[in-house]
C-alpha cells in the first residue's frame, strides 16, 4: 500500500474518532466541523428505512433533538477501520429511557469521506431502534 493511500485511511479513521468524541460530549458544533456542507446522514429509525437528513442544518437539528431527548446518550466504540474513502465504526449506543432504565443497542456506521470531511454517515442497528 502506498504511503499516500495509508495516510488517507489513517486520516479517515482520525476524523471518525474525533466525530465520535464530539458526539459523546454532545458537541453538535464540533460534529458539524468534521462534515461537508452537503453531508447526508441516514438515521436507522423508524424501521424499515430510517430517516435521511441532508445538509448541516438538518443534521444539527437532528442531533440537537437527540441530545435534548437523551441527555445520557453515549457511543462506545467496539471497532473502527478504514477502507479507502470509507470508514466503518462498530458501536454500542447507550441511553436512559423515559422510565429511567439504562438501555443500549449495537450497530455500525458507514462513513464516506470527501476532502478529509464526512460527507455521508449511514447507520444500521441490530434489533429495534429505541428498544421499545
Q: Is 45 inside any structural domain?
A: yes
pLDDT average, residue stretch 58-62 = 98
For residues 30 and 127, give the distance between their C-alpha atoms in angstroms, rounded to a whole number: 29
Q: Name residue, grid cell 429511567.
A: 100
Q: Is the pLDDT of residue 88 over 80?
A: yes
- CB-side exposure of 77: number of CA atoms within 13 Å? 15
pLDDT in tens, 17-49: 999 999 999 999 999 999 999 999 999 988 888
Beta bridge partner(s), residue 79: 90
Q: Is 70 inside any structural domain?
A: yes
- CATH number, domain with residue 77: 3.10.450.50
Q: Is 35 inside any structural domain?
A: yes
Q: Is 44 inside any structural domain?
A: yes
Q: Is 115 inside any structural domain?
A: yes
Number of domains forming the structure of the chain:
1
This prediction has a pTM of: 0.89
Q: Is 132 inside any structural domain?
A: no
Q: Is 131 inside any structural domain?
A: no
In which domain, by residue range, is 54 found? 3-126
Q: Is 15 inside any structural domain?
A: yes
Q: Report pLDDT for 111.
A: 98
Amino acid at each position: 500500500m502506498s504511503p499516500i493511500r495509508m495516510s488517507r485511511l489513517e486520516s479517515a479513521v482520525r476524523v471518525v474518532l474525533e466525530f465520535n468524541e464530539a458526539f459523546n460530549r454532545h458537541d453538535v458544533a464540533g460534529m458539524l466541523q468534521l462534515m461537508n456542507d452537503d453531508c447526508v446522514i441516514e438515521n436507522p429509525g423508524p424501521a424499515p428505512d430510517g430517516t435521511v437528513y441532508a445538509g448541516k442544518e438538518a443534521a444539527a437539528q437532528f442531533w440537537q433533538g437527540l441530545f435534548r431527548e437523551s441527555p445520557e446518550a453515549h457511543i462506545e466504540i467496539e471497532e473502527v477501520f478504514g477502507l479507502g474513502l470509507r470508514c466503518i465504526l462498530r458501536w454500542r449506543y447507550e441511553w436512559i429511557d423515559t422510565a429511567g432504565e439504562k438501555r443500549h443497542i449495537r450497530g455500525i456506521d458507514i462513513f464516506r469521506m470527501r476532502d478529509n470531511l464526512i460527507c455521508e454517515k449511514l447507520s444500521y442497528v441490530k434489533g429495534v431502534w429505541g428498544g421499545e
